[in-house]
Structure 1
Amino acid sequence: MSGLLDYDTPAASAGEVTYRVFFLGPSGAVQRADILRVLTDDEARQAGRCLVNGYGIEVWERSRMIERFPPRAAPYLEG
């Protein structure tokens, strides 16, 4: 999973595809956004699926939503 997020990418060139992942808080508001280091819609979906945990995730390519993933509940451990 390392290497999926890119914190130091310069702005995309004209025509270059740029994917972003938005981490959503409990109210559905965006808590954080990062650039994904992927080349295709399918890779962006897979990356988003890997990043889901207690937050909802939305994956976008510019103004086009690729996928929305609901938050996964953290497993409750007794003990």
Structure 2
Amino acid sequence: MKATTSAQIMAACLRGLRLFWSDIADIINVLKVDIHHQESFMTEVASSNFISSKIDITASIAMSSKLAYQLTRLSR
């Protein structure tokens, strides 16, 4: 029997199925892997958001500088 969520474990217990230690070890290993994948994903997303915010700021400054330069040239 394989159960990967607490709801599945509870449902299995309510139906009278027994969990063996090997089942519990497998469940714990699956949860550890899922948690690691989630943490990796969150780290990647946080890093992407940080980088994109820096790019947006840099692009904004560059566009402002170009606009100011063009306005200065037009005013002469």
Give the number of the structure whose residues are more often helix, by fraction. Answer: 2
Larger Rg: 2
Query: Normalising to structure 1: TM-score of the pair?
Result: 0.28
Give the number of the structure whose residues are more often strand, by fraction. Answer: 1
Query: Normalising to structure 2: TM-score of the pair?
Result: 0.29
